[in-house]
Amino acid sequence: MSKKVSITIPSSQGEQTFYFGRKAVLLCMTSLLSVPILIGGATYMHLESKNKLAAQAGDAQELIETLIVEKEQTEFLYAEQVETNHNLSQALTEKEGTIQLLGKRVFDVESVLGLADEELHTDEVSLEDRIDAAAVDSAVRATMFRLIPNDSPMAYQRISSSYGRRTNPITGKRHNHTGIDLTCKRGEDILAPADGVIETVRPSKKGFGNFITMRHSFGFMSSYAHLQKFKVRSGQFVSKGDVIASCGNSGNSTGPHLHYEVRFLGRSLNPQYLMDWTPENFNYVFEKEKKVKWGPLVQLIDNVVRLQINLTNVPYISSTIDTVSSEDKRTSSENNQQPIVTN
């Protein structure tokens, strides 16, 4: 059997015969058959690559759309934040205006009391520079003890938290305690420490709980928090020693107690200094509480007492200010013997 393959091709010059080896023929046939396979494979690979690119393009388009949405949301939030900042800026400007107005009012009050000439200093000042206590007569002293908060507002058990820096028993954070906490029996009567007018009567279960503020003469104010019951109403005049509330545990409180504050022209004072102030220890508060310019204040009270004495034609040495307009004028002995409420 021949190992060669002959191929005869007719032409114009006659037939031409070509001889190929079997291996060459097989190689050619294999090559011819491989071409469609290769083309098919290449086509398949091209289609796969095209599909992957299309999928990637779809993912990219979806990502772009997501980013566009996020961009629009971010722009919206930014616009909202800008508007909020603008509103806060306006509110801050209004608050600054309010603070300036309140500052002017405080200055006006200080001017009336003779305190506006110089700033209040808390450094050590001699008693002689502050007030000549020996020159203050009994009428002025009695008036001061009736119109300026003094003595304890109730029969308390102990001082659970003093005035000044402390750790809040509820939050555990350090802060400035602007009052004094007095533990009590639930329902214990709370008394007015001086003549005054009830300004705020606010029931609440949060913060200070049931809360009262009282305005006294000459820029003094007192406040009472965590009360159980109110015994007064807003706008009511009360005399020193009148019952204004009962001690309780309302609001943020760990037990029955009274949070008691005293302020002078908005500045917080240490209530304990005023609680320990007595006629027998008249100089005590002047030496301890340096946030008050006592000299001008006592002079103002002296002038008011003298004015009333002149208007009522009662000898100055035997009179005090009558803070209740409907009461009859008292004699000096009654004024000097007027009881100081103790608990």
* pLDDT digit string, tens, across residues 122-178: 445 544 445 666 667 888 899 999 999 999 999 999 999 899 888 887 778 888 889
Same domain, 66 and 155: no
| pLDDT digit string, tens, across residues 38-52 | 777 778 787 778 778
Same domain, 272 and 199: yes
226 in a structural domain = yes
320 in a structural domain = yes
Q: Which of 38, 54, 75 is the last residue of a domain?
A: 75
* Residue ranges with strand state E in the chain: 4-11, 14-21, 159-161, 164-167, 174-177, 180-183, 189-191, 196-202, 210-215, 220-230, 237-238, 243-247, 257-264, 267-269
d(CA 7, CA 35): 23
Same domain, 70 and 131: no
- Residue 164: both structure tokens together: 């000044």
Same domain, 193 and 315: yes
Q: Is residue 263 within 8 Å of 252, Cβ to Cβ?
A: no
Give the rounded percent of residues in the chain with a pLDDT score beyond 90: 33
| Domain boundaries, position 20 | 4-75
Q: Which of 75, 90, 115 is the last residue of a domain?
A: 75
Same domain, 171 and 24: no
Same domain, 280 and 187: yes
d(CA 49, CA 289): 89
Same domain, 306 and 207: yes
Q: Is residue 193 within 8 Å of 277, Cβ to Cβ?
A: no
Handedness of CA 259, 264, 266, 268 (dihedral sign): negative
Rounded mean pLDDT, 77-101: 80
pLDDT of 331 > 60? The answer is no
Same domain, 48 and 145: no
pTM of the model: 0.57
Per mean pLDDT, which range of 30-44, 214-228, 315-329 is the poorest? 315-329
Same domain, 176 and 309: yes
Nearest to 258 by CA among 199, 195, 207, 188: 188
Q: Is residue 236 within 8 Å of 278, Cβ to Cβ?
A: no
Same domain, 252 and 135: yes
* CATH code of the domain covering residue 257: 2.70.70.10
Same domain, 149 and 19: no
